[in-house]
Structure 1
Amino acid sequence: MTITHDFPAVTQIPALWCPIDLRLHPEAEGADDRLFTWARKFDLIRSDAAADRFYQAGYGYFCAATYPRAQRLDLMSEWNAYNWILDDLLDEGHKDATHEDRIRICREVLAQMPVNLRAPRPTSPLTAAVADLWERSAPPMSVAWRKRYVAHYADWVGQSMLQHLPSEPEDAASLYTHLRRRRIHSGCELSFDLIETGNLSEVPEEVTQVDAYEAVRASASDAICWTNDVYSIRKETARGDHDHLVPFLRERQETDWDGALDAAAGMIETATRDYQSACRDLRALRPLFTMSDEEWSRVEDSMSDLGLWIAGSLHWHRWSPRYSVVETTPDGSTPSYIEWHVA
């Protein structure tokens, strides 16, 4: 399948439907300043280009919009900013790394998140930062939560490595395959897990293991990651990255960019409605669960928080220059703001 890089700068992002009201965290003011201080402390931000890119993106503001009820907002901001830095390193920095380099980076990061809380000594800014995050996140949480989060993290970083393997034959990349991989690569599952440690309130394991709850998370994840695909289209195509919904729809539906964007907007609306429907389905199963009203209230909070994530992510994508301002580089080359944090 041949995909071209001719995305026109004048193409307009379509309006995306969202029935959920935005909420901002009461500590939103100053969140970006506090986050920048943390990133500097761990030497994750060095150059002026990286500092400008990081600060202008508004990652603290993003978390104020997506985790508006979090008791530990700054911890949520630090996790998400760290994950963006790691994602950019593995994704946009791939010209400076071999496949073996990416495997080593991912293994070193995952080693700092042991379920038993006994991690090796960090050896780089990248591992020191994640060690700090894990030390403040994991101890209050159950072993079940730790296992779930580490598994979702491994899925996410593993998928970033798969992006750079040789392409499959044209007839192998079905829509189902594409959407399955995109859901994993979005990182939404681990971001949803963070809601629980951010609120110091776990969803009962009796619920996390049932398909009905997974359907709530999956539909929310689809709405969020496809929203990202719509708003990040200029940045991704500028880097020669086509592992996203809009370029896929453009080729498969043999349409233009506007047609692909409109089709993606329709899928986002469907996913959002699926989220609402999945919440109703899960509530209908309430009598089958042997849990107290307090425990069920944590399930309700989780469903509400996932909806707030949909609304907050859409709001931030509309606002942030992370995807609308694209540094011009030769196709696939490393932008100036990517820094090597592994040593």
Structure 2
Amino acid sequence: MARLDPFPVPDFHLPFGNSKHPLAARANSEATSWALRHELVADAAEQFTAIGCGHLAGRVSGEVPYDTVVLLAEWMAWSFVLDDQHDHLIRKGELAAWPPVTDAITQYLATGRVNGASSRRNPLVRGFIDLCDRILAGMSTGTAARYRAHVPLMLHSLDQEAGNRGARRRPSVQEYILMRRHSSQLLPMMDMVEAGLGIDLPQHVHDHPAFQAVVESAVDIISWGNDVFSLPKEHACGDNNNLVSLISSWEGCSLPDAVRSVENRIQARIEDYVSAERRLFQVIDGEGRLDPEVRAAVTRVVRSYEDWMIGADLWQRYECTRYSDERFAAGLESAYTRPDLVSVA
């Protein structure tokens, strides 16, 4: 497929402030060291460091302890490798190697055990076990339950992406939007930040339609913005799991016009978010059932979602080479990708 001509990423006019943890650069180095120790990366460590996992973690985690920033950066490092390895198997037509890895991950998440020594020795599985134990140790029962639910949904969405790339029928825009809320891999990370902030919202608050409207609009804004940043690579390698590409295909418009369409959708979704946030507090105050401490926790979680929206945007623009690297823009695999990683035992 022809390479997309370079284009400026629009300013999405996110009306939120952002601060960055002062030790984000240190967390970034520690995340790379963790990935090297767990053999997720063997070569091109400098390129992997340039993804900036620690910088992203430092922008989206609010006032959490430094150990939480590092843990989040390590999880991000693992998730980037997971995503790249999945892409590698799609390119090579070797997806049969994928289920043993994800089955081991979901089994450990559910039971604390992995059947089969070979699966447990795989770097992706070993890395997940190390992270999962530390993540769950810092979570309340309710937050841990949400994390345990979100990770399998994230893994399933990667299977859906593989199916989209191999199928003649492309997903509708709405089908893609629903899938993207999980393939973005944001929800488990948001659970981690909530735990790191010491917040334990009751499940009935998370389940409230007004609260879900806030979460969904925030996740959509981040995901759709990422689709604009990642368009050159995904277009170059024929990946149709991108909102810009799908709008171009379904509406019969050029990619530049589709970028403008996504920009307009993001601006509308920002308005949705602001309205949903206002509506959330109108609803909970009107119902009068939340005690002041829980209401304060809701306020803090909503502020965290704002950190995520602006922090992810700033990271992609200024602190991450993943979307500007020449190999990436040409649709090639990253230099740090280990072709044998999934089969390592």
TM-score, normalized by the shorter chain, greater than 0.5 = yes
Question: Which of structure 1's runs of 4+ aligned residues deviate more than 3 A?
Answer: 328-331, 333-336
Distance 1:164 1:140, change over 3 A: closer
Residues in 2 aligned to 1:177 and 1:64: alpha-carbon distance in whole angstroms: 32
Deviation at 1:321, TM superposition (A): 1.3
Tell me if the contact between 2:327 and 2:333 (Cα under 8 Å) persists in the aligned partners: no
Q: How does 1:96-135 map to 2 (within 5 A)?
A: 96=92, 98-114=94-110, 118-120=112-114, 122-135=120-133
Aligned counterpart, 2:188 = 190
- Give the aligned partner of residue 260 of structure 1: 258
Deviation at 1:243, TM superposition (A): 0.9
- Secondary structure of 1:285's counterpart equals helix
- TM-superposed deviation, 1:145: 2.2
Closer, same or farther in 2 for the Cα pair 1:322/1:330, shift >3 Å? closer
Residue 66 to residue 176, structure 1, CA distance change in 2 (3 Å)? same
Match for residue 316 of structure 1? 315
Q: Which residue of 1 aligns with 2:49?
A: 55
The Cα offsets for residues 161-184 of structure 1, whole Å up to 9 and x where unpaired, read as: 1222242536xx332222212222
In 2: Cα distance, 1:185 partner to 1:84 partner: 12
Secondary structure of the corresponding residue to residue 261 of structure 1: helix
Amino acid at match of 2:325: V
Cα offset, 1:334, TM superposition = 4.7
- The answer as to 2:167 corresponding to 1:167 is yes
In the alignment, the residues of structure 2 paired with residue 275 and residue 200 of structure 1 have an alpha-carbon distance, to the nearest angstrom, of 24
1:41-80 map, 5 Å: 41-47=37-43, 49=44, 51-71=45-65, 72-80=68-76
1: CA distance between counterparts of 2:305 and 2:217?
10
1:327 aligns with: 327
Q: How does 1:286-301 map to 2 (within 5 A)?
A: 286-287=284-285, 288=287, 290-301=289-300
Report what 2:13 is aligned to: 17
State which drifts further: 285-294 or 311-320: 285-294
Report the counterpart of residue 82 of structure 1 in structure 2.
78
1: CA distance between counterparts of 2:309 and 2:4?
Answer: 27
- Spell out, residue by residue over 1:183-204, the C-alpha distance to the aligned partner (whole angstroms, 9 max, x if none): 2221222222121222232222
Q: Following the alignment from structure 1 to structure 2, what is the Cα–Cα distance between the partners of residues 77 and 261?
A: 29
Give 1:208's aligned amino acid.
Answer: H
Q: Partners in 1 of 2:323 and 2:169 — Cα distance?
A: 30
Contact map agreement 1:329 1:335 (CA 8 A) in 2: no
Given the superposition, is the C-alpha separation of residues 30 and 335 from structure 1 closer, same or farther in structure 2, using an over 3 Å criterion? closer
* Correspondence for 2:156: 158
1:195–1:289: structure 2 CA closer, same or farther, 3 Å change rule?
farther
Query: Partners of 2:159 and 2:169 in 1: how far apart?
Result: 18
Counterpart CA distance in 1 for 2:333 and 2:327 is 10
In the other structure, the counterpart of 1:285 is: 283
- Change over 3 Å in CA distance of 1:56–1:286 after alignment to 2: same
Q: Deviations over 1:11-36 (max 9, x none)?
A: 22222221111211132242211212
Unaligned runs of 5+ in 2: none
Q: Matched residues in 1 for 2:146 and 2:220: separation?
A: 19
Indicate the structure with greater helix content: 2
Tell me the percent identity: 24
SS in 2 for 1:100: helix
Instruction: Give the residue type in structure 1 aligned to 2:230.
Output: S
Gaps of 5+ in 1: none
Structure 1 residue 156: deviation in Å?
1.2
Residue in structure 2 matched with residue 307 of structure 1 by the alignment: 306
Q: Structure 1 residues 311-320 or 142-151, which shifts more? A: 142-151
C-alpha contact 2:138 2:196 (8 A) present in aligned 1: no
Q: How does 1:221-240 map to 2 (within 5 A)?
A: 221-240=219-238
1:141-152 map, 5 Å: 141-152=139-150
Cα deviation code 1:65-93 (max 9, x no counterpart): 12132221111111111111111111244
RMSD: 2.1
Aligned to 1:39: 35
Which TM-score applies when normalising by structure 2? Answer: 0.89
